[in-house]
């Protein structure tokens, strides 16, 4: 289990991440999402852990400012993973699907991840492997990126984070 401290808040928050591969019971987990205090993130459009941490930071920020976009903190995490302001679209791209074979679980509660470990029929893998599995062409389509932004992984990470950081600015004008 990887963990990262978000120090933008007082007190600071810690995000705990687990990455599962070879998941065999995604349909069962999806049917019982409300039983878990976490976000189940589809990793196919996740280019780095930074993207997840950004979404967690933004979800907490909006929660503390009474500006959440969804009904739960963890749904907000998924919402802020996506460049779209459409909640349904964000859930379709980043939420758990019944056919999911890989999933990232994010929680601010380490005990939740222990529960999730017993519930998911899959293999716990190294979270840093997600960068190798990101679907660059699909990300280009979803994030509306230019070809030159896909040349180097670091450019892709920066491009994705840039798009996410300005999300919702247009609707606030």
Whichever domain contains 39, its CATH number is 3.30.2380.10
Q: Are strands 2-6 and 103-107 parallel, antiparallel or unpaired?
A: unpaired
Position 173 in a domain:
no
Q: What angle do CA 79, 84, 85 make, to 5 degrees?
A: 75
Q: Which domain holds residue 93?
A: 2-168
pLDDT greater than 50 at residue 163: yes
For the residues 150-168, what does the mean pLDDT come to? 68
**19-62 pLDDT per residue, tens:** 999 999 999 999 999 899 999 999 988 988 999 999 999 999 99
Position 116 in a domain:
yes
- pTM strictly above 0.75: yes
Position 75 in a domain:
yes
Q: Which residues of 36-51 are buried (b: 16+ CB within 10 A; e: fewer)?
A: bbbbbbbbbbbbbbbb
- Whether residue 36 contacts residue 119, with contact meaning beta carbons closer than 8 Å, is answered with yes
The phi and psi torsions of 69 (rounded to 5 degrees) equal: -90, -20
Position 134 in a domain:
yes
Dihedral angle over CA of 100, 79, 170, 138, nearest 10: -20
Residue 150 DSSP code:
G
Q: What's residue 131's pLDDT?
A: 77
Q: pLDDT band for position 170 (50/70/90)?
A: low
Position 126 in a domain:
yes
Q: What's residue 151's pLDDT?
A: 58
Number of domains in the chain: 1
Q: What's residue 137's pLDDT?
A: 75
């Amino acid at each position: 289990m990887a963990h990262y401290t978000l120090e933008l808040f007082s007190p600071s928050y810690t995000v705990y991440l687990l990455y599962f591969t070879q998941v065999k019971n995604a349909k069962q987990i999806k049917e019982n999402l409300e039983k878990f205090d976490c976000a189940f993130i589809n990793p196919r459009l996740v280019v780095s852990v930074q993207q997840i941490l950004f979404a967690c930071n933004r979800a907490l920020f909006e929660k503390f400012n009474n500006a959440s976009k969804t009904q739960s903190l963890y749904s907000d995490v998924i919402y802020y993973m996506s460049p779209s302001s459409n909640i349904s679209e964000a859930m379709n791209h980043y939420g758990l699907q019944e056919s999911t074979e890989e999933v990232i679980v994010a929680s601010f509660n380490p005990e939740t991840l222990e529960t999730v470990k017993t519930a998911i029929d899959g293999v716990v893998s190294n979270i840093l492997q997600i960068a190798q599995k990101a679907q660059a062409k699909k990300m280009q389509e979803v994030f509306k990126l230019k070809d030159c932004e896909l040349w180097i992984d670091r450019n892709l990470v920066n491009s994705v984070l840039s798009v996410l950081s300005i999300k919702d600015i247009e609707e606030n004008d």
